[in-house]
């Protein structure tokens, strides 16, 4: 995750201390697995299959090539809802919101040598927030405090 790299090298971020950096790395690793699990669920929907079937074969091949899973095991691919429940059980919704907000701040304030395209940062943040909301709603946790209705 590029934002993680920027946050870890930003001297003016919430990740100046070792414990915070370690928490960020753990969070990002699990967040990427969560995104893949949500992707697996999305790909299994009938409407998605119908939409893909209407595309020319070349486009279907490009989409398939770009959508390779890297983090989930075969068992996790077979049962993506367990990945979602595990994520939601490990991190509170308010913590995940704080973490992605801190990541956004770290990217905005980054002044190092890596190139940062800052034009769509808020849109990227909102997409991450939306994925988190979907995960917590999907996990059917009884305590969804902090999720705006």
pLDDT per residue over 70-118, tens digit each?
A: 789 999 999 999 999 999 999 999 999 999 999 999 999 999 888 988 8
Give the global pTM.
Answer: 0.81
- Residues 128 and 125: their CA atoms lie apart, in Å, by 5
Report residue 140's pLDDT band, with 50, 70 and 90 as the boundaries. confident
pLDDT digits (tens, 9 = 90+) for 16-63: 888 999 999 999 999 999 999 998 988 876 666 666 677 787 876 777
Helices of type H across 54-120: 57-66, 74-78, 80-90, 93-109
**Do residues 138 and 84 lie in contact, with contact meaning Cβ atoms separated by under 8 Å?**
yes
φ, ψ (nearest 5 deg) of residue 17: -90, 150
């Amino acid at each position: 995750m590029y934002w993680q790299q920027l946050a870890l090298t930003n001297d003016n971020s919430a990740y100046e201390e070792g414990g915070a950096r370690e928490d960020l790395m753990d969070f990002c690793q699990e967040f990427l697995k969560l995104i893949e699990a949500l992707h697996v669920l999305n790909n299994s929907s009938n409407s998605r299959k119908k939409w893909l079937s209407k595309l020319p074969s070349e486009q279907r091949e490009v989409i398939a090539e770009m959508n390779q899973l890297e983090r989930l095991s075969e068992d996790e691919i077979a049962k993506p809802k367990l990945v979602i429940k595990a994520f939601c059980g490990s991190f509170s919704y308010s913590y995940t919101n704080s973490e992605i907000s801190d990541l956004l701040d770290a990217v905005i304030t980054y002044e190092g040598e890596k190139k940062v395209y800052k034009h769509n940062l808020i849109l990227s943040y909102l997409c991450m927030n939306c994925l988190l909301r979907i995960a917590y709603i999907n996990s059917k946790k009884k305590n969804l405090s902090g999720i705006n209705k």
